[in-house]
Chains A and B, each alone.
Chain A
């Protein structure tokens, strides 16, 4: 079974500081990895995804993530935090089951941005 671990349920940064949200996965096959963001009172929306090819993936709103197979990691970064980045972030790994790809989500990391 595939699983995802997000280190830290809350991450607090100052506006303008580097954002680093950690995600480690376990998978017996080459993984398909995703980061989603959830703003208050909304559903989740896709930030970025890794399938195959380039290990550095760029997403929306200045976020990017690097797939490191040797570390089984897919950490999310942004060079400079903005107040509008405050949200819940979820890492997910996809596995094939019951005729389709089914994502398994981590428990989420709440990003807090201080002025």
Chain B
């Protein structure tokens, strides 16, 4: 079974801090995603990656960056955290290569910026 692990369940950071959210998957999936989940807004795509060192902007990339140096790891970076980035962050992975496979999600990181 695919396992997607997010390093932290809860994080509390201060405004202006640089924040790293880490995600690791163990099934050799090509695609990895970062979503943000807010009540009433559903899931919004921040960034995705379909290969090592490749990244594509999603719907709401402003204020975020990502890094994918290894196939199994996809990091989300908040360069200077702000209170409006308080949210639930979900990482996911899927098979690539043109295959329309479902996403496998981690359990999420709830980030609070004070």
Contact = CB atoms under 8 A, between A and B. Distances in A.
Interface of A: 9, 32, 34, 36, 41-46, 49, 51, 90, 94, 97-108
Interface of B: 4, 30-31, 33, 35, 40-43, 45, 48, 50-51, 54, 56, 58, 90, 92, 94, 96, 98-108
A110 to B, nearest CB: 10
Closest 10 CB pairs of A and B: A43-B105, A107-B42, A98-B56, A105-B43, A100-B50, A101-B100, A46-B102, A44-B105, A99-B50, A32-B100
Given A32-B100, A43-B107, A51-B100, A98 B43 contact: no
Nearest to A99: B50
Specify the main secondary structure of chain A where it touches its partner.
strand
A44 B91 CA distance: 10
A47 B108 CA distance: 18
Most B-side CB within 10 Å, residue of A36, A97, A100, A105 = A100
Contacts, number: 67
B42 A106 contact: yes
Contacts of B33: 102
Contacts of B107: 41-43
B105 A100 contact: no
Most A-side CB within 10 Å, residue of B90, B92, B100 = B100
B99 A90 contact: no
Contacts of B50: 98-100
B99 A101 contact: yes
Nearest to A49: B102
Given A90-B43, A100-B96, A106-B42, 13 more contacts: A34-B102, A42-B107, A43-B105, A43-B107, A44-B105, A90-B42, A94-B100, A97-B56, A99-B56, A99-B96, A100-B94, A100-B98, A105-B35
Contacts of B31: 100
A34 B35 CA distance: 17
A98 B107 CA distance: 26
B96 A43 contact: no
